[in-house]
Amino acid sequence: MTRSVSVSANNSKLFTVLVLAIVAALGSSQGARAQLGLKTYTGAFADGATYVIDVPANWNGTLFLYSHGYTTPGTPNPAADSGDLVTRLYLLSNNYALAGSSYAKTGYAVEDAFRDQIAVLDTFETLVGHPNRTIAWGHSLGGIISAGLVQNNPDRFAGAVPFCGVLGGSVGFWNEELDSAFAFKTLLASGTGLKITGITDPVANLGIAETALSLAQATPQGRARIALAAALVDSSGWIDPFSPQPKPTDYLTLEANQFLSLQGFPFDLFFALRTELEGRAGGNPSWNTGVDYVAQLKLSVNDAEVRALYQAAGLSLDADLQTLNSAARIAADPAAVNYLSQNIIFNGELKVPVLSVHTTGDDIVTVQDEQAYAKVVHEAHDSALLRETFVHRAGHCNFTPAETTAALQALLRRLDTGEWQGVDPVSLNSAASELPPVYDFLFIGAFPPFPPAFIDYKSAPFLRPFDAFDRSASTTQDEGGITKDSAQRTTDPQTRRHENPGH
């Protein structure tokens, strides 16, 4: 891969803005340590991806490789080497080097990220030197990329910290999205021309979905059906970190939050951004053939909510579930499933320590993704290398710099000592509390501050698991040449539901 390179000392405008904004709160000594002798390398690869590398003068030999989240097609796509500015200042002040790329393309850029992030490591070795250890970390899509990097290239990494990652794997994640979209179209947008796959006009298609959603929210019957669609992705019903968590039986508030959530990024994924995914995969990689929606709802954390809202609306839930189960199903293109499996599903085989972090109220990448990842790691007999941590807060990736830093410190401690120490909620909250108060804000300039909120938590089963164990069971062919995949596995080994992506 060819590249162009530029290097300067303190040439990052963003870094300068950071220092001016928060150095007073952090203390001038920390800001000065981060700036003194800092070298920033930038450049581009032949595939169009750009990269940024920051190396402090007294680099300690550890490199943090950051993978950023989903970038919507058509929006700016700069290289990033950290998740937030305060954590960036902390890492540089403590002599850690940072690096990351933009990825060559926007969208569901897992394939591009795998290539470009390794290219960043190669470039770092050429420009700076060989790190003593490299840690993969990232948020959201960057979380699945970080976990995928250490699965695919364990020799290049010492450990990983995926934050709010799509750890259920790409196939399972997009299958859940399909289930929710399928229920919404079947029950609330039938006859509107709304498409779930093969979308040719994403903007118009999203407009149809949003109109149907708004109309449905105006009636009790519509709200009950919205709750059912939300239940099929385990939408949390708690989306605003600045508002208290609704009570478990406050079904109206839960549904209102699910409506607002679906109206945002989930509907973009369901009814517009799937187009970009299918373009990458060369077809539709998702299916609901063989899925029993009665069973799916019973597994959902929102089962009681849906049943209560249906009863209040005077609707028959059994009838709607039968409608879903008897509706024409969507089959996947085998080649597209193969593509998405490569980019990526998990085999659970850990060669390095992984510390995952997730908010309990995540409405975009649900906390249940953690259960899917932990389960496949357990099945591969590598649980000793995995620790899951949870922050009790609403929304997607809403971690404070204090919580982020405490998690990174915990992974570093595991690498230094060879043992997991201080990864329990009390220890993590204590470590986060020792940082300056400015680390307790979700966003610069946003109030109020949030005290550290690590919590003991056990996530419910992921609704549509599909991992390498499922993939390895795909050994038979049906009469049409479609590989038959063994299906969803729950935490109960006696309960297995079989699916076929081709029919």
* Two structure tokens written together for 345: 């599903």
Same domain, 22 and 126: yes
More confident residue, 342 or 490: 342
Is residue 358 included in any domain, yes or no? yes
Contact by Cβ (8 Å): 461, 299: yes
Name the least confident of 31-35, 295-299, 337-341, 416-420: 31-35
Instruction: Determine, yes or no, domain membership for 57.
Output: yes
d(CA 122, CA 155): 13
Structure confidence at residue 472 (pLDDT): 59
Residue 47 burial (10 A CB sphere; 0-12, 13-18, 19+): middle
Residue 448 lies in a domain: yes
The answer for 395, left when phi > 0, alpha when psi is -120 to 50, beta otherwise, is: left
Please give the Cα distance from 502 to 55 (Å, whole number). Answer: 50
E strand or H helix at 483: strand 483-484
| Residue 26: pLDDT band with limits 50, 70, 90 | low
pLDDT > 80? residue 484: no
330 shares its domain with 181 = yes
Helices 85-93 and 13-26: angle between axes, nearest 10 degrees: 80
CA distance 382 to 347: 10
Q: Where is average pLDDT lowest: 27-41, 309-323, 415-429?
A: 27-41
The average pLDDT across 472-479 equals 37
For residue 241, is pLDDT > 90? yes
Q: Examine the domain organization and report whether 376 and 416 are in the same domain.
A: yes
Q: Which residue bears the tokens 């990232």?
A: 138
Shared domain check, 491 and 380: no
What do you get for the CA distance between the two ends of the chain, in Å?
41
Number of H helices, E strands in the chain: 19, 14
Would the pLDDT of 489 be above 50?
A: no
Q: Do residue 186 and residue 60 come from a single domain? A: no
Same domain, yes or no: 123 and 48: yes
One-letter amino acid of 348 = G
Instruction: Please check whether residue 468 lies inside any domain of the structure.
Output: no
Residue 503 in any domain: the answer is: no
Q: Could you give the CA distance from residue 312 to residue 317 in angstroms, rounded to a whole number?
A: 11
Do both 281 and 238 map to the same domain?
Answer: yes
- Statement to judge: residues 164 and 177 lie in one domain: no
Summarised one tens digit per residue, pLDDT across range 112-144 is 999 999 999 999 999 999 999 999 999 999 999
Which residues are within 8 A (CB) of 9 and not within 5 positions of it... i.e. 6 or more apart? 37, 38, 39, 40
115 and 258, same domain (yes or no): no
Phi-psi label, residue 397: left if phi above 0, alpha if psi -120 to 50, beta otherwise: left
Domain of residue 334: give its range: 170-340+479-497
H or E segment at 362? none
| Cβ within 8 Å of residue 204, ≥6 positions away | none
Do you find a cis peptide bond into 345, omega within 30 degrees of 0?
A: no
Q: Is 317 helix (H, G, I), strand (E, B) or coil?
A: helix
Tokens of 422: 């201080």
Same domain, 486 and 409: no
The mean per-residue pLDDT over the stretch 233-248 comes to 96
pLDDT surpassing 50 at residue 167: yes
Give the span between the Cα atoms of 347 and 338, in whole angstroms. Answer: 15
In this structure, what CATH number is given to the domain that contains residue 377? 3.40.50.1820
Asked whether residue 366 carries a pLDDT value surpassing 80, the answer given is yes
Residues 182 and 329 in one domain: yes
* 110: in domain: yes
Q: How many structural domains are present in the chain? A: 3
| 469 assigned to some structural domain | no
**208-222, 230-244, 383-397, 477-491: which has the minimum mean pLDDT?**
477-491
Quick check: 500 pLDDT over 90?
Answer: no
Q: Are residues 312 and 386 both part of a single domain?
A: no
pLDDT over 70 at 494, yes or no: no
Closest CA to 148 of 2, 319, 344, 4: 344
* Domain assignment of residue 466, yes or no: no
pTM of the model: 0.90
